[in-house]
A and B are shown apart, each in its own frame.
Chain A
Amino acid sequence: MIGPSFPGVLRAAQDGDETAFAELWRDAQPVLLRYLHVLSGPGFAEDVASDTWLHVVRGLAGFRGDERAWRGWLVTVARRRAVDAGRLRQRTPTVPWEPGDEPPPAPAAETLVLTALDTRAALDLVARLPRQQAEAVVLRVVAGLEPRQVAELLGTSPGAVRVAVHRGLRRLAQELAQEQGGQAL
């Protein structure tokens, strides 16, 4: 997050200041890529993010809001671009981590625990959650959106978002704890 200087940076970017726009981009692009990694898969994240910025640049002059609203707008555009491109991740495991049900691309949890957790590997792990839980976790933890914003984006209630995030995180913690215990033995 850019912080207190965000209003000035945004205003400068809207007035054509490239440096200001670069600051906005550097702050938000990793968030978009991580969200899209979970939403669309790593193979499409970059393309969808580029489409997203194209639309954002076109609408930049008309944006009004604080930094949290800015983030919310970006991920909203990104999600729409992913949907329009038909690049929502197809795999939506309803019962993740059942024995023998692990998707091949995901890294082994023990590997994640024993080594410094790579961002990409962590995103792969989150992507194994049910889609709504995965999206809610990324939008809350990575993008820093409020439950209300996530609820609007996902078409649900803030309460449902909280539940989804809580359950998703608990499931991840449980899995990682089990793997840690297994490694300790």
Chain B
Amino acid sequence: MTRHLLRRRRDRDLAPLGDPALAPLHAALTAEPAPTEVAGEAEALAAYRAVSWGRTAVPARRRALWRPAVLSSVLTTALATKVGAAAAAGTVALSGAAAAAYTGNLPDSLQDVAHKTIKAPAAKDKAPKAPPAQAVGPDAAGPAAWGLCQAFAKEKPAQDQAQDQAQEQPNGKANGKAKGKAKERSVAYRNLVRAAGGEDKVEAYCSSVPRPSDEPGTPSARATKAPKATKAPASQAPRSARP
């Protein structure tokens, strides 16, 4: 009863609604919803669904939903989601790639990039896929001497690199950065040095090597046992070594 009195007192401002003149107005203001007033339910539900599922805002506005700015916003949100997923996948892939780089299991060109960017071991430092003992290299004291000397004299860097690749990278893939110490590690060069009797005697040795008559002008330096290395003559290898 007290509550009823309090409510009546609180609602005294609404007392004029008891006036018969206001009855039609009151009825109209509080009438059941017209169909036009609840016509946007589907769009409102779409917005609710979008927020509930993806915590992404999609306007419920019927007409505004397809306005360029609104549509752009929705698409941007969706795109950002996909980009985020792609970035996550890329992170996983890069993690794997980094592990491969640090263990030296990347292809040489990629290993070189990894070496420069994340200080992974250089391709030339990788453990050779074929044991060095299997790569005998060209016989610098035999028919390959002329070719080796030609390559040594004319294209020392290229020769170094080609020989290095021929012996250490049977897959023939290039490593443009493997020039420095590669010469010392090249089996062919070591063979040439050995045949000459010392590194400082190579030029003198080469000057005494006769030009083979059966293969004029053709480099004869070939790997004797490494099968893939024989596919790349010393003079052509640098060309293929360039990216």
A30-B38 contact in complex given A21-B48, A117-B28, C-beta closer than 8 Å: yes
Residue with the greatest number of chain A CB neighbours at <10 A, chosen from B19, B22, B44, B49? B44
Most chain B beta-carbon neighbours within 10 Å: one of A49, A116, A170, A173: A173
* Interface stretch (choices A63-71, A72-80, A92-100, A159-167): A159-167
Question: Which size class do B's interface residues fall under?
Answer: 35 or more
Other-chain residue from B22, B27, B33, B49 in contact with A169 (beta carbon distance below 8 A)? B22
Whether the pair A166, B41 counts as a contact (CB closer than 8 A) is no
Q: Which residues of A contact B41 (CB under 8 A)?
A: 22, 25-26, 29
Query: Quick check: A142 and B29 within 8 Å, CB to CB?
Result: yes
Bound together, the chains give a CA A141 to CA B61 distance in angstroms of 26
Give a binary string over B35-53; 1 marks a CB under 8 Å from any A CB, 0 the rest: 0011011011101110110
Contact B12 A51 (CB under 8 A): no
Q: In the complex, how many angstroms separate the beta carbon of B38 from the nearest chain A beta carbon?
A: 6
A169 touches B29 (CB 8 A): no
In the bound assembly, the distance between CA atoms of A122 and B17 in angstroms comes to 14
User: Which of B13, B22, B33, B51 is the one whose CB lies under 8 Å from A166?
Assistant: B13
Q: How far is the CB of A77 from chain B (nearest CB, A)?
A: 13
Collect the chain B residues with CB atoms within 8 Å of residue A21's CB.
44-45, 48
Contact of B25 among A29, A51, A117 (CB under 8 A): A117
**B47 lies within 8 A of A57 (CB):** yes
Contact, CB under 8 Å: A177 / B13: no
Chain A residues near B (Cβ < 8 Å)? 13, 16, 18, 21-22, 25-26, 29-30, 33-34, 46-47, 49-51, 53-54, 57-58, 60, 112-113, 116-119, 121-123, 125-126, 138, 140-142, 146-147, 161-166, 169-170, 172-174, 176-177, 180
Enumerate 15 A-B pairs (CB-CB under 8 Å) in ascending A order.
Answer: A21-B48, A25-B45, A25-B48, A30-B38, A46-B61, A50-B43, A50-B59, A54-B61, A57-B44, A112-B24, A117-B25, A122-B29, A163-B13, A166-B16, A173-B19
